[in-house]
Homo-oligomer: A and B are copies of this chain.
Amino acid sequence: MASHPLSLSFLLLSVLISSVSSSSQPIIQLPTTTDRKSNIDDDLYCASWHLAVETNNAGSWKQIPTRCESFVQDYMTGPRYMSDSEIVANYSLAYAFSVEIGRNGKDAWVFDIDETLLTNLPYYQAHGFGSETFDENSWDVWVDLAEAPAIPASLKLYNELKQMGFKIFVLTGRSENQRNATAKNLLFAGYTDLDRLILRGPSDEGTLATVYKSEKRSDLVNEGYTIHGSSGDQWSDLLGFAVAKRSFKLPNPMYYVS
């Protein structure tokens, strides 16, 4: 977001410098007032659209608005994404410190994987940052590579929670037949010693993410766990039933899972 006005300023500076050094032929054309207005309008609209997505005001959505494609790209590759992820992790950790950990080993934290523990940015960078229609084949190839990096702030949070004595449950919409690749990728990214990796089994196929994830959290509660915290980039990771005492929404303007 902030990067647009900054680039604009450097553009203006370059134009000014070039027109000072050679007044007849400026190398870069100044944007017309209309262009500039429509850019500012797009930035404003897309920032508000993004906020609506993150707060769940937007509800279910299928596609990044066309005018926001470059906004999403700038967001995901610029400093805001990392900063937003860090602040979420900071608030998660501050809350975790307020939890009194019992001696029964039943204090739990639930993490989603994609865009929560791992970032699939290398994949989405090659696929329009979510603006292209989802392609299951290329996605499966990417998952099998097992090379998605950790979101640094999430890895730090994960390690601190482990050290504090939380049991860590990783609950993903990926399917059982991706277990090996997923476990390998988590290790590759630095996530060691997780307590359980829960994937969609055959009986979970076709279940809405909110219901599937609620059912699995419910199983944990029935096993005696207290789910203190839950971290996910989708509202379907966090809402439903058997919800955590505190839920933490990581940013994701690229896609929506219902």
Name the B residues within 8 Å of A249 (CB-CB). Answer: 55-57
Q: Does any Cβ of B come within 8 Å of A59's Cβ?
A: yes
Q: Are A91 and B52 in contact (CB under 8 A)?
A: yes
Interface residues of A in 1-32 (CB under 8 A from B): 1-2, 4-6, 8-10, 12-13, 16-17, 20
Q: How far is the CA of A87 from the CA of B13 in the complex (A)?
A: 33
Q: Which of A39-47, A101-109, A126-134, A204-212 contacts B (4 or more CB under 8 A)?
A: A39-47
Q: Are B51 and A84 in contact (CB under 8 A)?
A: yes
Q: Are A87 and B51 in contact (CB under 8 A)?
A: yes
Interface residues of A in 82-100 (CB under 8 A from B): 83-84, 86-88, 91-92, 95
Q: Does any Cβ of B come within 8 Å of A246's Cβ?
A: yes
With A2-B4, A249-B55 as given contacts, are A48 and B84 in contact (CB-CB < 8 Å)? Answer: yes
A55, chain B: closest CB distance, angstroms: 5
**A interface residue numbers (CB < 8 A to B):** 1-2, 4-6, 8-10, 12-13, 16-17, 20, 40, 43-45, 47-49, 51-52, 54-59, 79-80, 83-84, 86-88, 91-92, 95, 246-249, 251
- Beyond the given pairs A45-B87, A57-B87, A59-B91, 14 more chain A to chain B contacts, judged by CB atoms under 8 angstroms and listed by A's residue number, are A2-B2, A2-B4, A2-B5, A2-B40, A5-B6, A6-B8, A8-B9, A16-B16, A16-B17, A20-B20, A44-B83, A51-B84, A54-B55, A57-B248
